[in-house]
Amino acid sequence: MNTLTTHPALLRHLPWWLRLHTAAVLVFLYLPVITLVVFSFSNSPSAMQWGGFTTKWYAQLSENARLLRAAGNSALVAASSTAIGLLLGVPAAIGHASLRRHRTRVAASLLLPIIAPDVVVALALKLWCLTAFALAPGLTPMILGHSLLSLAYVFLLVSARLDRFDWRLLDAARDLGASTTSALRLILFPHLWPAIAGGALLAIGVSLDEYVISSFLSGPGSSTVPIETASLIRKTFTPEINALASALLALSACLAAAAILLQRRR
């Protein structure tokens, strides 16, 4: 185990410049995000000019039919792809845990969608959907594309949870007369549910924020919120875009926090 983790008192003896460096990195990472959120409450028509506090830009979001339609598409794609990811990812993680050989290769193959560049995955999905399935760009190809990401994240979290599972419990349950199905339902899945729920929340957050795959696979009338946001920025940059980005940031942060809290459950 890391020495700093084992002895937190040593953290107080770190050089001052190392602490300053850490603070500078945090400011570099989060200052642009904080600025965006602050200016989403600006009363000025300019996105980067403060004009007093207001919440009217958030009210305008609820009246924008185009963005509401895109939000509906995003919700449909996120929910459907997450369901597919759960149906495929959880059994894949359980099957992977039972392997005795080639575990690393199988894990790397299942995690490839989140390891490979997004543009490569998006282009491969577009070619596959057009040639193998003859699917026109739209919601269905987007759901299939996002489900690859969902599968990978669900597999990652469930596999990490399985590493802490004592498989002798299943053997003991079967020795006591329980069927394999009952042992899985009563012993394994209660242990896995925080990882399953956390993987689902993480998959939803990733799907809602995904732009590259969505832009490659979207068709007429199937734009998602990231696609609409990029389209609005090309035309004009108003505080309404700041409000939209802040709302997406808050939703993603809530989903990520919930996933982390679920993973910490014992």
**What is the C-alpha separation between 166 and 172, in angstroms, rounded?**
11
Vertex 109: Cα angle to 106 and 111 (nearest 5):
110
Listed in order, the ranges of the chain carrying CATH 1.10.3720.10 are 65-263
Its pTM surpasses 0.75:
yes
Work out the widest C-alpha separation in the chain, in whole angstroms.
72
155 and 89 Cβ atoms separated by less than 8 Å: yes
**pLDDT (tens digit per residue) in 169-199:** 888 888 888 887 888 888 888 888 888 988 8
**pLDDT (tens digit per residue) in 107-124:** 888 898 888 888 898 898
Helices (H), the chain: 3-6, 16-39, 56-61, 65-97, 103-110, 112-115, 118-131, 139-162, 168-175, 180-183, 189-209, 212-217, 225-235, 239-263
Question: Quick check: 263 pLDDT over 70?
Answer: no
121 and 213 Cβ atoms separated by less than 8 Å: yes
Q: Is 57 helix (H, G, I), strand (E, B) or coil?
A: helix
Question: Quick check: 1 pLDDT over 50?
Answer: no
Fold of the CATH domain 65-263: MetI-like fold (1.10.3720)
Q: Residues 150-166: what's their mean pLDDT? A: 89
Q: Give the confidence band of 2 by pLDDT, cuts at 50, 70, 90.
A: very low
Question: Quick check: 9 pLDDT over 70?
Answer: no
* Rounded percentage of the chain residues whose pLDDT exceeds 90: 15
Q: Is 53 helix (H, G, I), strand (E, B) or coil?
A: strand
